Amino acid sequence: MATAEGVLQVFSGVAPRNLCSDPSSNALGLAYSFNSRLVSTKRSASKKIKIPVYASIQSSTSETRGVEGFGGSSYNNRRIDRLKFSSCRCQRAEGVGGTTTGNWFVDSADDLNPLNTMVNGPHVLNFDDVKQLKEEKTDSMSNGAPIASSTIHRANVDPIEEEAWDLLRDSVVYYCGSPIGTIAANDPTSSNVLNYDQVFIRDFIPSGIAFLLKGEYDIVRNFILHTLQLQSWEKTMDCHSPGQGLMPASFKVRTVPLDGDDSATEEVLDPDFGEAAIGRVAPVDSGLWWIILLRAYGKISGDLSVQERIDVQTGIKMILKLCLADGFDMFPTLLVTDGSCMIDRRMGIHGHPLEIQALFYSALMSAREMLAPEDGSADLIRALNNRLVALSFHIREYYWIDLRKLNEIYRYKTEEYSYDAVNKFNIYPDQIPPWLVEWIPNRGGYLIGNLQPAHMDFRFFSLGNFWSIVSGLATVDQSHAILDLIEAKWADLVSDMPLKICYPALEGQEWQIITGSDPKNTPWSYHNAGSWPTLLWQLTVACIKMNRADIAAKAVEIVERRISRDRWPEYYDTKRSRFIGKQARLFQTWSIAGYLVAKLLLADPGAAKILITDEDPALVNAFSCMIGANPRRKRGRKNLKQSYIV
């Protein structure tokens, strides 16, 4: 690649920011222990103590109820004091899984919102009572009786949207009496739970965004702080430990007997870093999504004290250090294995999949906004900025495909050896698949799924393309071209239920070789070109950014025709998405949350700014310099780079 040395030093740091003035936050040390469990002691059930429902943070001055009061620590020599947790004196009617649904409360001002209401004895209702109350209100309306103001408000709520909110709140998981996340699925018809009763990092993102847009910040704050503690958990497989900074794929709240005391129990956070996952693959995207959610929380709540905490700042740096570590790879993209992202099974995306690169770029941009300017961060920020320049150039230049670029590849010369080679990755023109020749529209284009030496994965991957728009990784022209492609190929990518996770499906011998004859990833099912309703929210954010919300609104209308009737499935099968997925869980939380986020953002497009990052003028300038750089520049030994300090 034509990369001038001077261009990679275009950034020297970040603009000064005001640090949090809260002395309790500034005095915080690191908040985790490498070899200890997160536990919260819980008194025996005979105490009969009621649980206060978590109240939302309405401003940055609200009382902090997260994980506070941590002792001092030292990261460089890996000495970190054990967390001191206060005794949890609450009693909850829950089993080992800890996935209770919480109570419902009736209050005309709070509109049946369990996360914004305090427990008040006579007002507590269960789900059946609420259902009966709704039916009574409906009867009174039909009989011409006077309608209360709260009833008018609820009559104006879309019934599908109202059902979705009820189901989302039913999926909330509590830890020590406070909401901490949402389980992956709450399917009453399935006895084979597997790990769908756990809180997944990536699955919670649309749930967290939905709660943020609703003004319910506490559950997101708790999620951010508690998953941060799990980052430094001891994780091993076959006596091997991954790099520090890895976030878990999921975690579960377990209630277990307290050691040495049969009359008391404790709640324990039990994380999974891939040791128990199918395929035993560690998640690369968890930490990237965590940074993106942290930025969204600060932008919408105004509570910057969370991202300015010492433990949170250190958590960001640990993720960046893990991702920015030097290795054997010559490319600026992250090298990962199959199954390390949303497509968590073997699907031929090992190497440099687009989805990870888009999330990586978005996380780098978000982290640059949130990192506190200090002496210890200077080298890290410099490495971050250098990577942003190289990554944006690499993806925009080599991953882009449209009819013009396809014609160029068709005429590629191969076996080129030189610094000014056109076919840098030695791509053979015969790799162009027949389906693409007929499928690529005259107007529109997209970012391919993967790029490696002598290999281009020409499949269209929805999440990677949508998030490239949202994060600014794709140029403005490329972003519009991606949406042009969606419109031109609507019947293939959207059809009867949005959206295809990828297109087209692997079939026949190709499916056997690439997936290992995976019976769950059969053609046009699951990850192999199945349709996933949760992708609706990412499409919506991308469309709003490019001022083309009508595309997302059209997709939402299609979703509303079926998804409630089909009981909110995880995914759909067949080429036109006509069947509910053969092994799809019903009442899948991120299908529910994805729909809600899309509806909320279409109602208030300005709120999408909490997820969007615009194209950086400095990056644009650096990108232009790299294109015009001389590929035959003087080569030689360069100065040894200083290691950055975390």
Beta bridge partners of 88: 42
Q: What's the mean pLDDT in 587-612?
A: 98
Q: How far apart are CA 620 and CA 473, in angstroms?
A: 11
415 C-beta neighbours (distance < 10 Å), count: 8
Range among 378-382, 545-549, 642-646 with highest mean pLDDT value: 545-549
> What is the 3-state secondary structure of 460-524?
EEHHHHHHHHHHCCCCHHHHHHHHHHHHHCHHHHCCCCCCECEECCCCHHHHHHHHCCCCCCCCC
On whether the CB atoms of residues 613 and 470 are closer than 8 A, the answer is yes
Which 8-state DSSP code applies to residue 112? S
Q: How far apart are CA 374 and CA 359, in angstroms?
A: 26
* Size (the chain), residues: 646
At residue 408, the 3 state secondary structure works out as helix
The token pair that represents 91 in the structure block:
């009693």
Query: Residue 235 has what pLDDT?
Result: 64
Q: Lowest-pLDDT range, 377-381, 471-475, 554-558? A: 377-381
* Dihedral sign computed on CA atoms, order 109, 111, 112, 114: negative
On whether the CB atoms of residues 97 and 197 are closer than 8 A, the answer is yes
**Buried-exposed string 475-509: b where 16+ CB fall within 10 A, e elsewhere:** beebbbbbbbbbbbbeebbbbbbbbbbbbbbbeee
Tell me the H-state helices in 412-461. 434-439
Confidence check: pLDDT of 424 > 70: yes
Range among 229-233, 241-245, 325-329, 385-389 with highest mean pLDDT value: 385-389
* Residue 616 confidence class, pLDDT cut points 50, 70, 90: confident
Q: How far apart are CA 370 and CA 425, in angstroms?
A: 36
**Locate tokens 């009572």: which residue?**
129
On whether the CB atoms of residues 541 and 612 are closer than 8 A, the answer is yes
* Residue 329 confidence class, pLDDT cut points 50, 70, 90: confident
Q: How far apart are CA 122 and CA 109, in angstroms?
A: 16
Confidence check: pLDDT of 143 > 70: no
Amino acid at 72: G
524 C-beta neighbours (distance < 10 Å), count: 22
The token pair that represents 167 in the structure block:
């189901």
The CA-based diameter of the chain, rounded to the nearest angstrom, is 87
Range among 67-76, 209-218, 416-425 with highest mean pLDDT value: 209-218
* Residue 80 confidence class, pLDDT cut points 50, 70, 90: very low
Query: Residue 188 has what pLDDT?
Result: 87
Query: Residue 639 has what pLDDT?
Result: 56
The token pair that represents 350 in the structure block:
């090992």
Domains of the chain are: 159-629 (1.50.10.10)
What mean pLDDT value characterizes the chain?
A: 79
The token pair that represents 430 in the structure block:
């015969």
- Quick: pLDDT tens for 8-45: 444 444 443 333 334 333 333 333 333 334 444 443 33
244 compared with 311, residue with greater pLDDT:
311
267 C-beta neighbours (distance < 10 Å), count: 24
Phi, psi of 346 (to 5 degrees): -65, 115
User: CB-based contacts of 216: which residues, under 8 Å, 6+ apart?
Assistant: 56, 113, 115, 116
Amino acid at 56: S
Query: Residue 374 has what pLDDT?
Result: 82
Query: Residue 97 has what pLDDT?
Result: 39
Query: Residue 566 has what pLDDT?
Result: 97
Element (H or E) spanning 255, and its range? strand 250-258
Q: Measure CA of the first residue to CA of the last residue in the chain; give whole Å.
A: 29
* Residue 356 confidence class, pLDDT cut points 50, 70, 90: very high
DSSP string covering 150-216: HHHHHHTS-HHHHHHHHHHHHTEEEETTEEEEE-SB--TT-S--TTTTSEEHHHHHHHHHHHHHTT-
- The rounded radius of gyration (Å) of the Cα atoms in the chain is 25
Amino acid at 8: L
On whether the CB atoms of residues 553 and 544 are closer than 8 A, the answer is no
> What is the 3-state secondary structure of 584-608?
CCCCEHHHHHHHHHHHHHHHCHHHH
Tell me the whole-structure pTM to 2 decimals.
Answer: 0.76
On whether the CB atoms of residues 294 and 226 are closer than 8 A, the answer is no
- Quick: pLDDT tens for 335-348: 999 999 999 999 99
Q: Where are the beta strands (DSSP E) in 328-433?
A: 400-402
Q: How far apart are CA 111 and CA 127, in angstroms?
A: 14
Q: Which of 118, 106, 124 is nearest to 52 (CA)?
A: 118
Q: Which of 474, 469, 310, 425 is nearest to 377 (CA)?
A: 310
> What is the 3-state secondary structure of 289-354?
HHHHHHHHHHHHHCCCHHHHCHHHHHHHHHHHHHHHCCCCCCCCCCCECCCCCCCCCCCCCCECCH
**Locate tokens 């076959």: which residue?**
238
Beta bridge partners of 448: 460
Q: What percent of the chain has pLDDT over 90?
A: 59
Q: Lowest-pLDDT range, 136-150, 182-196, 223-237? A: 136-150
Q: Lowest-pLDDT range, 267-276, 364-373, 402-411, 535-544? A: 267-276
Query: Residue 570 has what pLDDT?
Result: 97
Confidence check: pLDDT of 320 > 90: yes
* Residue 328 confidence class, pLDDT cut points 50, 70, 90: confident
Burial class (CB in 10 A: 0-12, 13-18, 19+), 392: buried
Query: Residue 638 has what pLDDT?
Result: 55
Q: Lowest-pLDDT range, 207-211, 280-284, 441-445? A: 280-284
Q: What's the mean pLDDT in 42-53?
A: 35
Q: How far apart are CA 468 and CA 458, in angstroms?
A: 16
